[in-house]
Chain A
Amino acid sequence: MAEILLAVERLKKFFTQKRGFPNPETVTVRALDEISFTVNRGEAFGLVGESGCGKSTAGRCVLRLIEPDSGGVTYAGEDVLEAGKERLRLLRRKMQIVFQDPYASLNPRRMIGKALAEPMQVHGLGDSAEIDARVEALLAEVGLPPDARWRFPHEFSGGQRQRIGIARALTVSPELVVADEPVSALDVSIQSQILLLLRGLQDKHGLSYIFISHDLGVVRWFCQSIAVMYLGRIVETGPVPAIFDDPLHPYTRMLRESSPVPDPEVRVAPARIAGEVPSAVNPPAGCHFHTRCPHVMDKCRQAYPEWRMVGQGRGVACHLHGA
């Protein structure tokens, strides 16, 4: 069936910080606590969760922009974490990233044309005439006027900058793009333009995405399958329509029900107010979600639930769906 492009296996990354003066305390942030997932070729895979759940860290560990502590990342059969300098350079042509903040993601002092030509020069993808033509084609592809190449980032709006960021990722003709909240900073009307652009590229070039987002609506429209993260762990995965129609994990359900729907007949069900939300610094014992879970049971407080596959490519970690 579908070819697995990327396999992530028990990926782990803890950050330690020293806080406080004069008696510093060492704090461990459990950003990624052994997460596993796979991305099929040509698929948009959504990583969903709220701030601090580790979804961005996951995206960066896959690209080795952050070195994970342990675990495995396999790209098209090749071990990414073991790759040496040269292999990594080649792998980076296959895997690219698009960022959330279109203002921080471009070098303010670099003309667009140069910013787009540079990756091709570094990787030796063609002579200067070829690169020149390719820059022009890329600008057209992401919907920017040809004269954009002579301009600087500050001359563009947020949506246009995001297009430039996408064009830059495309310069090396990648197969997998990690899109880290690519539309969160954009206005609604611009958001749909960018989503359509990304979808178009997926269809045209067979791109695969790891689409990181907190917006369930966007993920539902854009992704074919998703993983829901909570405090450094994946709590549920599965194909898109199924997860949204019948969320199994109470957290997925809470996310879905809290997401505002543009329809006054469907009033959002307010989530229960259960005190301070725990963070990845001190995740609660047992199931991390038990402090906010409406179905909490005794065993939820004691043991983290086993991961269980429940058919049609769906998996969940919840005692409600245990044996």
Chain B
Amino acid sequence: MSRGAAIAAPRRGFVHALRELRRAFNTNITSWIGLGVFLAIVLFAVLAPVIAPFDPYEQHIIDRLKGPDATYWFGTDAFGRDILSRLLHGARYSLVIGSVATVSAMIIGSAIGIVSGYVGGRVDLAVMQVMDVLMSFPSLIMGLMIVAVLGPSMGNLIFAIALTAIAPFARIARAPTIVIKQRDFIEACRALGFSDLRIMVVHILPNVMAEILVLGTLWLATSIRVEASLSFIGLGLKPPIPSWGGMVREGFEVILDSAWLSIFPSLAILLIIFALNMLGDGLRDAVDPKLRGGE
């Protein structure tokens, strides 16, 4: 146990935070539904190459713009590509972009928030001013500006979405840090000669982890939404890559005749965002009321 304890410590805190979330979670059925739906979508995305009935890029010219039937469950698009297969593969892009962006923002934002809250004083003031400026841009507008300047590519998309999410993570990590750094056990750490870095990583981070994870869940939904929105206005993934936002847009042009083109990807976006929000809200309810004193 004590072997390698220094390395194991943060993971331990992480596990503890997860366990705590799960305990709070058990009382809330909507969070379970949210989690179930989300995991199902993840599973479909992972298995997409196996379960998708067709290649998402394969064009069945004869069958273009067919409504849902026994062969093409969700119908086909203007190039005769199977919508279901495109949806399944599109889920992979949405999830990857959303989660890479969210996780990077989570790591960078939390680090900024914890350092800023821990150091305090002028540094904190300055950092939080910058964060406030970042926060004042709606995430879609911000993403739009960045992609417009840097050009639409998967990397830039992730960068743009992550950048908009840093400020909220910094804020959510900073508030409890300020409370916790005043507790005696942090003073005890200082009295024991621990370095500031160690105090932040080993002692403060595990105590703010639950809040960060909750925001992470909620922000994953936002990231996916922003990605879809950017793709919808043509600043996202380039066709023919199947992205949900792009699919809605392609279908938009023929919505009066072939509504299924946009309806199914829209439903998919709705479903995943709804599931993540249910999950996140449940977690937040579980974490919020007891910004615990003694546990």
Contacts and interface: CB of A to CB of B under 8 A. Distances in A.
| Direct contact between A and B judged by beta carbons closer than 8 A | yes
Interface of A: 60, 63, 65, 88-89, 92-93, 95-97, 99-101, 103-111, 113-114, 117-119, 121-123, 128, 131-132, 135, 150, 153-154, 165, 168-169, 171-172
Interface in B166-210: 183-185, 187-188, 190-195, 198, 202-203, 206-207
B2 interface: yes
A105 B185 contact: yes
A92 B294 contact: no
A92 B294 CA distance: 27
A183 to B, nearest CB: 15
B5 A118 contact: yes
B295 interface: yes
B195 to A, nearest CB: 8
Nearest to B210: A109
Contacts, number: 95
Interface residues of B, number: 30
Contacts of A65: 187, 190-191
Most buried by A among B6, B183, B193: B193
Given A99-B184, A109-B207, A154-B295, A123 B5 contact: no
Given A107-B203, A108-B295, A122 B187 contact: no
Contact of B294 (A60, A63, A89, A103): A103
Contacts of B188: 97, 99, 105, 165, 168-169
A306 to B, nearest CB: 35
Contact of A105 (B2, B3, B184, B293): B184
A80 to B, nearest CB: 13
B207 A63 contact: no
A101 B194 CA distance: 21
Nearest to B194: A122
A114 B185 CA distance: 14
A71 to B, nearest CB: 20
Interface in B1-44: 1-3, 5-6, 9, 12-13, 16-17
B122 interface: no
Contacts of A99: 184, 187-188
Nearest to A154: B295
Contacts of B194: 118-119, 122
Please list the 6 inter-chain residue pairs (A to B) with the smallest Cβ-Cβ separation, ordered nearest first.
A105-B184, A92-B193, A99-B184, A154-B295, A103-B294, A89-B193
A100 B184 CA distance: 9
A132 B192 contact: no
A104 B203 contact: no
Contact of A132 (B2, B183, B195): B2
Most buried by B among A109, A117, A122, A153: A109
Contacts of A109: 12-13, 16-17, 206-207
21 contacts: A60-B187, A92-B192, A96-B192, A97-B188, A100-B184, A105-B183, A105-B185, A107-B207, A108-B292, A108-B294, A110-B13, A110-B203, A111-B12, A114-B5, A117-B2, A119-B194, A121-B5, A121-B6, A122-B194, A153-B294, A153-B295
Nearest to A109: B206
A131 B2 contact: yes
A104 B185 contact: yes
Given A97-B191, A168-B192, A135 B2 contact: yes
A88 B184 CA distance: 20
Contacts of A63: 191
Contact of A106 (B185, B198, B202, B292): B185
Interface string B210-232: 00000000000000000000000
B1 A113 contact: yes
Contacts of B17: 109
Contacts of B184: 99-101, 104-105
A171 B183 CA distance: 20
Nearest to B207: A109
Nearest to A150: B1
A25 to B, nearest CB: 20
A40 B18 CA distance: 49
Contacts of B16: 109
Contacts of A172: 192-193
B185 A93 contact: no
Given A99-B188, A109-B12, A128-B3, 13 more contacts: A89-B193, A92-B192, A104-B183, A104-B184, A105-B184, A108-B292, A110-B9, A110-B13, A117-B2, A118-B202, A150-B1, A154-B294, A172-B192
